[in-house]
Amino acid sequence: MSFDLGGNTHHVPAKLFVDNRSRLVTELRKVTQKPGAFVVLQGGVGRHRYNTDSEDLPFRQESYFFWAFGAHDSDAFGVIEVATGKAVFFPPRLPPDFAIWEGKIRDEEWFKTKLEVDEVIFNDKYAINDYLTTHGAQHLYLLKAPNTDSGNTLVPAAFTKRPGFNTPVDTATLYPIIANLRVFKTDLELDVMRYAVKIACEAHKDVMKSIRPNMFEYQCESLFRHHSYYHGGCRHFAYTCVAATGCNSSILHYGHANAPNSKLIKDGDMCMYDMGPEYNCYASDVTCSFPANGKFTENQKLIYNAVLKANREVFKAAKPGVRWIDMHLLAEKVLLQGLKDAGILKGDVDEMVKSRLGAVFLPHGLGHLMGLDVHDVGGYLGDATARPTQAGLSSLRTTRTLQERMCITIEPGCYFIDMLIDQALKDAKQREFIVVERLNEFRGFGGIRIEDDIVVWANGNENLSSSVPRTVEEIEAFMKH
Ligand code: GLY
Ligand code: MN
Ligand code: MN
């Protein structure tokens, strides 16, 4: 059964999660043949808005738990026996008046059919503990998952233990295995991601058709959200919507609570819209940059085409076996050449790259793994090299070599950020490459980012976001009223 929202929304079969659990036990069996080994995972905990008993946003499941069980219930646990793969789901035991406030209390059979697990047990006080004891648990694999993006660590499952329960716990083995499995998407996962990104593209196109100078940025965010939810069934978004125009478009993560997409859009503004719905917890992450009035100026065209060339060159070069840092450096090189062609920079492009001038215009990483989290896990596992320390490269969310079935964003950008420009002008080496008067023409221009979501394949990458207009000509034709 698993999940859909009827109509044309994508049906996600429970098999997606059955397969993930099977992949997990297959990998675990390679490193442990211990008898009585069980994985215990804890789902997310529902939270209320400060000082009230109402939810702020509808509960969104913790991603590792979701990857294994596909369940949207808060405060649930899951147990998987490594030797047999048997999966038991432990939903919370709900109080009777749940039926008044929240609706029908589902029984074990309902959960069993929905999630395709082997058994369902309501989580009464020692339920998990009792299950483990009666099934001969001798080793517990719990998830302690550091996150290289947030710096947070997901803490191991905290289930209530009967006094005297002393089964040994291992919190080191599970994390690298499960996080690395999340990096490589199955066919069923890719179907969900294709759908989420398709909805993102359609919503971006709706915004591009509807935008007019003198609207507010947040009205574009609102249109995007409406399209994603009304037409795509996407209730959640993978990150805060960035609907930046004019000089705001050089603020990489504009749109937060203190900069809530609130500017009036002016004729002549460039828009940099980075917005992505998620569907059944799978993320999309698409950025479209375009002129608010539908017609590029010559300067906008120069910068846009330099960024687009960087995006396209990386798409062609990003093959299995290629290291992601090298793709970032390729993007910088193409971008800097574009800025040189635009008369903003002068001199040798390779020397510019060495001086780290690329990071002045492209301070963020070229892209990141994506999946159940928009900045997905596993970027510094596998064959990753240590996080670089040089400007720009230090922002990379992965240094791995690319492999088939990785889903990654390609999102070069070019931003005119006064603080970084001023720093570069004070740096003797970087200043040599800058045509100061010409660069000054671009102060206040804002920025441009072109972000695609791709799947890496040996026979040529798949661009999940190929349906948005991308070239200057395509955008101008599409936006013509
Ligand atoms: N939207 C967040 C990012 O592009 O990484
Ligand atoms: Mn983005
Ligand atoms: Mn991104």
Ligand 1 atom closest to residue 285's alpha carbon, by position in its atom list:
1
Q: Which residues surround ligand 3, an ion (CB under 5 A)?
A: 285, 409
Which of 252, 285, 415 to mutate to test ligand 1, by most ligand atoms within 8 A of the CB atom? 285
Amino acid at 435: V
Amino acid at 416: F
Over its length of 481 residues, how does the chain's per-residue pLDDT go in tens digits? Answer: 789 999 999 999 999 999 999 999 999 999 988 899 999 999 999 999 998 988 888 999 999 999 999 999 999 999 999 999 999 999 999 999 999 999 999 999 999 999 999 999 999 999 999 999 999 999 999 999 999 999 999 999 999 999 999 999 999 999 999 999 999 999 999 999 999 999 999 999 999 999 999 999 999 999 999 999 999 999 999 999 999 999 999 999 999 999 999 999 999 999 999 999 999 999 999 999 999 999 999 999 999 999 999 999 999 999 999 999 999 999 999 999 999 999 999 999 999 999 999 999 999 999 999 999 999 999 999 999 999 999 999 999 999 999 999 999 999 999 999 999 999 999 999 999 999 999 999 999 999 999 999 999 999 999 999 999 999 999 999 999 7
Contacts of 113 (CB under 8 A, 6+ apart): 1
Instruction: Report whether residue 411 contacts ligand 1, using a CB cutoff of 6 Å.
Output: yes
Cβ 456 vs Cβ 405: under 8 Å = yes
Residue 257 backbone class (left: φ over 0; alpha: ψ -120 to 50; beta: rest): alpha
Q: How far is CA 185 from CA 23, 236, 406, 409, 459, in A?
A: 11, 21, 6, 14, 17
Residue nearest to atom 4 of ligand 1 (CA): 285
C-alpha span between 261 and 269 (Å, rounded) = 14
Cα 14 to chain centroid distance, Å, stands at 22
Instruction: Report whether residue 285 contacts ligand 1, using a CB cutoff of 6 Å.
Output: yes
Strands 236-237 and 77-81: unpaired
Instruction: Report whether residue 239 contacts ligand 1, using a CB cutoff of 6 Å.
Output: yes
The count of C-alpha atoms lying within 13 angstroms of the C-alpha of 38, restricted to the half-sphere facing its C-beta, is: 24
Give the Cβ contact number of residue 34 at 10 Å: 15
Instruction: Report whether residue 206 contacts ligand 1, using a CB cutoff of 6 Å.
Output: no
Q: From the CA of 286, which ligand is nearest? A: 2
Which of 368, 395, 452 to mutate to test ligand 1, by most ligand atoms within 8 A of the CB atom? 368
The reported pLDDT for the residue numbered 481 is: 77
Contacts of 447 (CB under 8 A, 6+ apart): 249, 250, 252, 270, 272, 413, 414, 415, 416, 417
The reported pLDDT for the residue numbered 2 is: 83
If you ran DSSP here, which 8-state letter would residue 120 be given?
Answer: E
Helix, strand or coil for residue 144?
A: coil
C-alpha span between 423 and 419 (Å, rounded) = 6
Contacts of 415 (CB under 8 A, 6+ apart): 249, 250, 252, 361, 362, 363, 446, 447, 448, 449
Q: Ligand 2 centre and the CA of 98: distance in Å?
A: 38
Cα 272 to chain centroid distance, Å, stands at 18
What is the maximum span of the chain, computed from C-alpha positions, in angstroms? Answer: 77
What are the chain's domains?
14-183 (3.40.350.10), 187-479 (3.90.230.10)
Cβ 123 vs Cβ 88: under 8 Å = no
C-alpha span between 46 and 58 (Å, rounded) = 9
Q: Quick one: which of 190, 71, 173 has its CA closest to 123? A: 71
Ligand 1 atom closest to residue 364's alpha carbon, by position in its atom list:
5
Q: Torsions phi, psi of 378, nearest 5? A: 95, 5
The reported pLDDT for the residue numbered 296 is: 98
Contacts of 133 (CB under 8 A, 6+ apart): 162, 165, 167
The reported pLDDT for the residue numbered 192 is: 98
Instruction: State the DSSP string of 326-354.
Output: HHHHHHHHHHHHHHHHTTSB-S-HHHHHH
